[in-house]
Amino acid sequence: MEATIHQQTIQPKEQKKFKVIPIMIALLISGFIGMFSETALNVALSDLMTVLHIEPATVQWLTTGYLLTLGILVPVSGLILQWFTTRQLFVTAICFSILGTIIAALAPNFEILLLARVVQAIGTGIMLPLMFNTILVIFPPEKRGAAMGIIGLVIMFAPAIGPTIAGVLIEHLSWHWIFWMSLPFLVISLLCGIFFMQNVSEITKPKIDVLSIILSSVGFGGIVFGFSSAGEGSGGWSSTKVIVSIAVGIVALILFAFRQLRMKEPMINLRAFKYPMFTLGTLMVFISMMIILSSMLVLPMYLQMGFGKTAFYAGLIMLPGGIINGIMSPIMGRLFDKYGPKWLVFPGFLIAAAMLWFFSGITPTSAIILVIVLHTCLMIGISMIMMPAQTNGLNQLPKQYYPDGTAIMNTLQQVAGAIGTALAVSIMTAGQTHYMNNHAENPNMLDALTAGVQGAFLFGMIVALIGFVTALFIKRVKIK
Tell me what pLDDT residue 353 has: 92
Q: Could you give the CA distance from residue 447 to residue 363 in angstroms, rounded to a whole number?
A: 8
For the chain, what is the total number of helices (H) and then of strands (E)? 16, 0
Q: Percentage of the chain with pLDDT > 70?
A: 81
What confidence score (pLDDT) does residue 57 get? 64
pLDDT at 39 over 70: no
Cα 199 to Cα 127, 131, 401: the distances in Å are: 14, 12, 18
Q: Do 71 and 220 touch, CB atoms closer than 8 A?
A: yes
Which listed CATH number (3.40.50.1390, 3.40.50.150, 3.30.930.10, 1.20.1250.20) goes with 18-471?
1.20.1250.20
**What is the per-residue DSSP string for 263-284?**
-SS-SS-GGGGGSHHHHHHHHH
- Predicted local distance difference test score (pLDDT) of residue 160: 64
pLDDT for the residue numbered 152: 67
197-208 burial code (b ≥16 CB/10 A, e <16)? bbbbbbeeebee
**SS3 for 304?**
helix
Does pLDDT of 354 surpass 90? Answer: yes
Q: Quick check: 167 and 43 in contact, CB under 8 A?
A: yes
Convert the pLDDT of each residue in 398-454 to its tens digit. 877 777 787 788 778 777 877 787 788 778 877 877 777 777 677 677 778 888 888
DSSP string of 71-92, one letter each residue = HHHGGGHHHHTTTS-HHHHHHH
Claim: this prediction has a pTM higher than 0.85: no
**What is the chain's alpha carbon radius of gyration, rounded to the nearest angstrom?**
21
> What's the Cα-to-Cα distance from 145 to each of 4, 32, 148, 200, 401, rounded to whole Å?
12, 19, 5, 19, 19
User: How confident is the model over 124-164, as pLDDT tens digits?
Assistant: 777 777 777 777 777 776 666 667 667 766 666 666 676 67
pLDDT digits (tens, 9 = 90+) for 468-479: 998 888 888 776
pLDDT the model gives residue 7 = 36
| Structure confidence by residue, pLDDT tens digits, 225-267 | 787 676 555 556 677 778 888 889 889 888 888 888 887 777 7
With a CB cutoff of 8 Å and minimum separation 6, the contacts of 359 are 295, 299, 374, 378, 454, 457, 460, 461
Give the model's pLDDT for residue 43: 65
Q: Where do the structural domains in the chain lie, given as residue ranges? A: 18-471
Rounded CA-CA distance 201/180 in Å is 33
In the predicted model, what is the mean pLDDT of the chain?
77
Inter-helix orientation angle 342-359/445-471, to 10°: 160
**Which residue, 370, 384, 361, is CA-closest to 320?**
370
Distance CA 25, CA 296 (A): 27
Half-sphere exposure of 193 toward its Cβ, with a 13 Å CA cutoff? 25
* Alpha-carbon separation of residue 142 from 40, 54, 90 (angstroms): 34, 49, 26
pLDDT at 27 over 70: yes
Does residue 175 sit in helix, strand or coil?
coil
DSSP states of 117-146 = HHHHHHHHHHHHHHHHHHHHHHS-GGGHHH
Q: What is the pLDDT of residue 266?
A: 76
